[in-house]
């Protein structure tokens, strides 16, 4: 149960079937210590146990669809997540750093394969590991005051929680190179122009409203179709066109005859609202 988790550096809130996870370490602009990563892993591991780990609810035993979307954000107005915790990293050995990055990268994979959408609501600094955590979400919404960057080279480091891989998927190789090689910080508008942030909202309240509205729109649809669509988009992302189309074709055909597909198509023909069984 989410309510039973004892969490030091996260705040959880469930409303209308949407879970909001806020990183809460105000004294360090919500920097990601190993404890924050461990707690985020606890939350997403619990969600995987409930909703499914295959990235497709249909393949899991009786997925629990009571949570239909997740918002990942930072508490307070100043920061989403200002990166990995530099004062911890400073004293880490190579082995400890490898384990830290492995845990964080596995967390990002859990976010990407969670069968429900996860939206990053970036309300301030999303730097280093913060930008990397946001990029693991399905899409990023930003407030006007948000800023993004991969400033690791200023620390003698490089991105280690997925930035070298995912930033180029969002913004293309040239912009990714420039941002990673210079460590340059960009504001919300530039992040939107580059395709990193999908929309920019005037303030933190509007940002959370927009994230909820977007997740509510998904929650009104067939949960198994949303899960299959999320999984297929991700699977196709890194593939050559032919192979991606093959995976899409198979996933499309797999929808046929499912209770959700039968209900959705019947409701359309009968001109009524669908009531999806979630199977």
Instruction: Kindly list the residues in this chain that would bind ligand CAA in the complex (CB under 6 A).
Output: 28-29, 31, 82-87, 125, 127-129, 132, 151-152, 155, 157, 159-161, 163
Phi-psi region of 220 (alpha: psi -120 to 50; beta: other; left: phi over 0): alpha
In the complex, the smallest distance separating the C-beta of residue 36 from ligand CAA, rounded to whole angstroms, is 11
* Interaxial angle between packed helices 241-255 and 223-237, expressed in degrees from 0 to 180 and rounded to the nearest 10: 170
Among residues 84, 267, 81, which one has the least CA distance to residue 159?
A: 84
In the complex, the smallest distance separating the C-beta of residue 96 from ligand CAA, rounded to whole angstroms, is 13
> Closer to ligand CAA at the Cβ: 132 or 138?
132
DSSP 156: T
> Closer to ligand CAA at the Cβ: 187 or 248?
187
> Closer to ligand CAA at the Cβ: 86 or 220?
86
Q: Number of C-alpha atoms within 13 angstroms, CB side, residue 257? A: 3
Phi-psi region of 81 (alpha: psi -120 to 50; beta: other; left: phi over 0): beta
d(CA 40, CA 229): 24
Q: What residues pair up with 69 in beta bridges, in sequence order?
A: 18
In the complex, the smallest distance separating the C-beta of residue 196 from ligand CAA, rounded to whole angstroms, is 16
> Closer to ligand CAA at the Cβ: 132 or 260?
132
In the complex, the smallest distance separating the C-beta of residue 25 from ligand CAA, rounded to whole angstroms, is 9
What are the catalytic residues?
132, 152
């Amino acid at each position: 149960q989410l309510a039973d988790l004892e969490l030091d550096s996260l705040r959880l809130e469930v409303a209308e079937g949407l879970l909001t996870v806020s990183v809460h370490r105000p004294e360090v602009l919500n920097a990601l210590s190993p404890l924050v990563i461990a707690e985020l892993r606890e939350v997403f591991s619990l969600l995987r146990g409930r909703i499914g780990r295959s990235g497709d609810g249909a393949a899991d035993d009786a997925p629990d669809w009571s949570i239909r979307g997740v918002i990942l954000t930072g508490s307070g107005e100043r920061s989403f997540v200002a990166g990995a915790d530099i004062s911890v990293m400073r004293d880490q050995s190579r082995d400890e750093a490898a384990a830290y990055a492995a845990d964080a990268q596995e967390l990002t994979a859990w976010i990407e394969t969670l069968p429900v959408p996860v939206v990053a609501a970036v309300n301030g600094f999303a730097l280093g590991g913060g930008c990397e955590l946001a990029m693991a979400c399905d899409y990023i919404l930003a407030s006007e005051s948000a800023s993004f960057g991969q400033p690791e080279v200023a620390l003698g480091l490089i991105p280690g929680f997925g930035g070298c891989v995912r930033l180029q998927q969002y913004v293309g190789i040239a912009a990714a190179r420039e941002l990673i090689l210079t460590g340059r910080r960009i504001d919300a508008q530039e992040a939107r122009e580059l395709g990193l942030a999908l929309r920019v909202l005037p303030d933190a309240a509007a940002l959370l409203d927009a994230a909820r509205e977007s997740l509510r729109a998904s929650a009104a649809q067939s949960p198994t179709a949303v899960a299959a669509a999320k999984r297929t988009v991700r699977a196709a992302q890194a593939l050559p066109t032919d192979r991606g189309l093959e995976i899409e074709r198979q996933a499309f055909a797999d929808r046929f005859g499912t209770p959700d597909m039968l209900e959705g198509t019947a409701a359309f023909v009968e001109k009524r609202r669908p009531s999806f069984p979630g199977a």
